[in-house]
């Protein structure tokens, strides 16, 4: 049996039973327990199951589409996000037209941004409010359905409003950066608007701290080829970064 076939059967068994032990899988597939542990690690990285002591449990009935509240995201890996944001701000020139998504790293960008002539398009209430005190920056909000947990505008109206604009640079984050699966988000509404943002920019820069690499979140956003650059922090492993650079993506580590 090929490894890919074994992965699918493992996921099916875990989903059917709710949980399963390493010893049982080892006997069932006639491979070593170490092989099964490696399989489970890979499947957990891909978001297909969750590792437990001695085995794995299903994520099928867990709320995969639930967003982490903004206040919690804002303080998670905060120092790394600040460094990433400061590096991203260096890429902005006076009179640029830029887009900032509703990520916590984009908020750190807004905090660090100098008061220079800019046009900033955003779907984030927090970003718009932060930039409101900077007199030389023109802020355009998308409007749309308010996603309360992320304090962002999403949905058809938000997506249609983006059709009227084109920007020089789009700065956005995501829940997962995966070598095979590309960029992904926690739910479909966020994924749809970020996919739209990527399509309306001359240059797309992803702001992703090291915890995002190797993760496949619930909904696909874009392929790796759709992004020009990634800014991450020094915790990112070279084994994650090197393949991205080989694909021609500029990766900056701060």
Would you kindly state where each structural domain of the chain is located, as residue ranges? 3-58, 70-253
Q: What are phi and psi of 242, to 5 degrees?
A: -55, -45
Other C-beta atoms closer than 10 Å to the C-beta of 232 total 26
**pLDDT band per the 50, 70, 90 thresholds, residue 125:** very high
Q: Which CATH architecture has domain 3-58?
A: Orthogonal Bundle (1.10)
pLDDT at position 68, please?
58
In DSSP terms, 231 is beta-bridged to 207, 252
Query: Tens digits of per-residue pLDDT, 140-168?
Result: 999 999 988 889 999 999 999 999 999 99
Among 41-45, 69-73, 153-157, the range of highest mean pLDDT: 153-157
Structure tokens at 39: 């399989």
CA-closest candidate to residue 172, choices 203, 213, 205: 205
CATH topology of domain 70-253: Rossmann fold (3.40.50)
DSSP 40: H
Query: Which is more confident, 128 or 49?
Result: 128
pLDDT at position 76, please?
64
Strand 145-147, strand 137-141: pairing: unpaired
Buried b (16+ CB within 10 A) or exposed e, 135-173: eebebebbebeebeebbbbbbeebbebbeeeebbbbbbb
Query: Tens digits of per-residue pLDDT, 192-250?
Result: 999 999 999 999 999 999 999 999 888 899 999 999 999 999 999 999 999 999 999 99
Cβ burial of 29 (10 Å; 0-12, 13-18, 19+) is middle
In DSSP terms, 64 is beta-bridged to none
Contact (Cβ atoms closer than 8 angstroms) between residue 209 and residue 80: yes
Query: Which is more confident, 62 or 84?
Result: 84
Mean of pLDDT over the chain: 91
Query: Tens digits of per-residue pLDDT, 73-85?
Result: 555 678 999 999 9
Q: What distance in Å separates the CA atoms of residue 101 and residue 122, rounded to the nearest whole number?
A: 6
Percent over 70 (pLDDT), the chain:
93
Q: What distance in Å separates the CA atoms of residue 133 and residue 153, rounded to the nearest whole number?
A: 21
pLDDT at position 74, please?
52
**pLDDT band per the 50, 70, 90 thresholds, residue 63:** very low
Q: What distance in Å separates the CA atoms of residue 86 and residue 224, rounded to the nearest whole number?
A: 23
Provide mean pLDDT across the span 165-186. Answer: 95
- Rounded to an integer, what is the distance from CA 52 to the centroid of its chain? 24
Query: Tens digits of per-residue pLDDT, 113-123?
Result: 999 999 999 99
């Amino acid at each position: 049996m090929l490894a890919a076939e074994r992965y699918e059967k493992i996921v099916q068994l875990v989903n059917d039973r709710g949980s399963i032990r390493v010893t049982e899988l080892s006997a069932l597939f006639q491979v070593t327990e170490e092989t099964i542990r490696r399989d489970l690690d890979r499947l957990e990285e891909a978001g297909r199951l969750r590792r437990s002591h001695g085995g794995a449990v299903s994520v099928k009935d867990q709320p995969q589409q639930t967003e982490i509240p903004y206040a919690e995201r804002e303080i998670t890996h905060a120092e790394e996000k600040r460094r990433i944001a400061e590096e991203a701000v260096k890429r902005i020139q006076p009179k640029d037209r830029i887009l900032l998504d509703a990520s916590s790293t984009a908020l750190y960008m807004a905090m660090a941004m100098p008061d220079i002539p800019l046009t900033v398009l955003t779907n984030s209430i927090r970003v718009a409010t932060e930039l409101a005190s900077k007199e030389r920056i023109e802020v355009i909000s998308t409007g749309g359905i308010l996603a309360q947990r992320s304090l962002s505008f999403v949905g058809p109206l938000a997506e249609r409003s983006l059709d009227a604009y084109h920007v020089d640079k789009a700065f956005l984050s995501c829940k997962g950066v995966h070598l095979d699966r590309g960029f992904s988000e926690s739910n479909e509404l966020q994924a749809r608007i970020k996919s739209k943002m990527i399509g309306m920019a001359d240059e797309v820069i992803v702001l992703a701290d090291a915890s995002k690499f190797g993760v496949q979140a619930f909904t696909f956003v874009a392929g790796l080829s759709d992004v020009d650059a990634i800014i991450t922090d020094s915790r990112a492993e070279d084994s994650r970064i090197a393949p991205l650079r080989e694909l021609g993506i500029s990766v900056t580590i701060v």
